[in-house]
Structure formats: structure tokens, C-alpha cells
Structure 1
């Protein structure tokens, strides 16, 4: 997702969505929703549990759920983008880290599977290393492992 695809909090929609998202996760929102259900249930006998009475709660919850899906997705997109930016900063700033992983979220599934296999191989090589604090690349791990095997064979 491009940063330009996320509405700015300077826009009316950005401010509105941010406020609704924050409110919907609050205790007050939960109490309000629970109270609405209690009031609705209490009015059941008054309306003889009619189809219209049932339709009111069904329609209300469907509309709210439908709209909340989009607000939740918007918040998730923003959080995900921010997390990726923070991780990219750490990768870019860390000596020895592979810059190939910057923007890994944009990789194809095949590229992600290739990277996953790469790190699985690194884990296997690390398991063979007695020094748990040592970190290295796959190439360094393979060289280190080969050196250890050669030393043991002598």
C-alpha cells in the first residue's frame, strides 16, 4: 500500500475515522452496545417479539458491522504500514542486515517462500553451532560448519 492511499488525518474523513476507531475500542462503546441489546431485549414483550422487533436489531447490527469492517481495515493498513516502516529503518540502520528485506511485504509469494527457505537453512546451521549468541549469514554458517567438520576430522 502506498502512503498516498491512506487518507491523511488532516482530511475530514481521516479525523472522523480516527475518532470512531478510538471510540469503538473504548469501554463506553462496549457499554453502549451492551445497553442497546439489553433495551432491545427488554422491549421484546412490549412488541410481542414481532418480526419488526427482530428486524430492528438485525438491521442495526448488520449496518454497524459492515461499516466497522472498513474502519478496522483502515486502522490495520495504517498499523501495518507503520510497522513495516519501523522494521525497514531497523534493517537499513543495522550493520550486516540484508537490505534485500527492506519492503519484503511487497515480495511475491515465490520470493517470500525462497526467503523462508533461506532462513530455515540458517536455523538448521545455527542449531549445529554450539555458540548460541553467534549470528551469521547462511554463507558464514556454512563456512563455519565446514571448518568445524574439517577440524573434527583432523
Structure 2
């Protein structure tokens, strides 16, 4: 049985809720109310502190929720890509966990694929189709 933590449920629900147009409208409305009340409070330091504190707290918390959502989405996409590589005949299984490699190893893979792309562009420039599946030395 899959257990979902309260944070996971909250981290999924909050961005869905906050991304709705009505929530954006509420945020704009809050700012407008704050601006309109400025003269009533003589644009005091407390009046300014209220909006500064509120927006700082909201921003601080949203950064963590957005990062959580981004991490989950990236991991799900990576797993789907891994499955496509695994299930594709002729694909290189050595690419399955490529995101875990060090930067120098990634650079080596990138260089090989850039070379393949350059060869393909040269073929196209010479009127040759580039729809084959060349086998790089991976």
C-alpha cells in the first residue's frame, strides 16, 4: 500500500490552488486594499511593514513548495524517459541514469551526441536523409 505523507498531499495541493486565476485575483485585491489604506495610515512604517512581512513570509514558504513540486515532476519525467530508453530497441541502456553522473562524464556524452548531430547536419546539407540511427561509441 502506498503511503502519502501530509506534506506530500499539501505540496501537491498548494501549487494547484495557488496557480488558479482566482488566487491571483485575491493577491492583486490584497495589494489594492493595502495601497488604498495607505492614506488612512499616513503611509506609516507599520503600514509598509505589514505588506513587506506578509509577502516575505509567503515567498519564503512558496519557494519550498515550488521546489518540492519541481523535484517530483523532474523525477517523474526522468523515470518516464528511462522507461522509453529501456523499451526502445537499439537504445543505450548506459544512458538510463545519466543524471547521476559527474559533470565531466556528462560532458563526454554531450560531446559524442553533438558530434552525431553535426554529422547529421552535414548529411542534410548534402541532400542525404538524417533519419538513420547511427551507433555512437558510448
For the criterion TM > 0.5, the same-fold answer is yes
Please list, as runs of the form range in 1=range in 2, the aligned pairs for 1:1-154 lying within 5 A after superposition.
10-129=4-123, 130-138=128-136
Structure 2 equivalent of residue 144 of structure 1: none
Q: Once superposed, which parts of structure 1, at least 4 consecutive aligned residues long, lie more than 6 Å away?
A: none
Any unmatched runs of 5+ in structure 2?
A: none
CA distance in 1, matches of 2:119, 2:25: 53
Higher Cα radius of gyration: 1
Shift of 1:121: 1.2
How many residue pairs get aligned? The number is 132
Shift of 1:19: 1.4
Any unmatched runs of 5+ in structure 1?
A: 1-7, 140-154
Query: 1:37-87 deviations in whole A, cap 9, x for unaligned?
Result: 000001001000001000000000000000000000000000000000000
Query: 1:94-130 deviations in whole A, cap 9, x for unaligned?
Result: 0011111101111110010000101011112223331
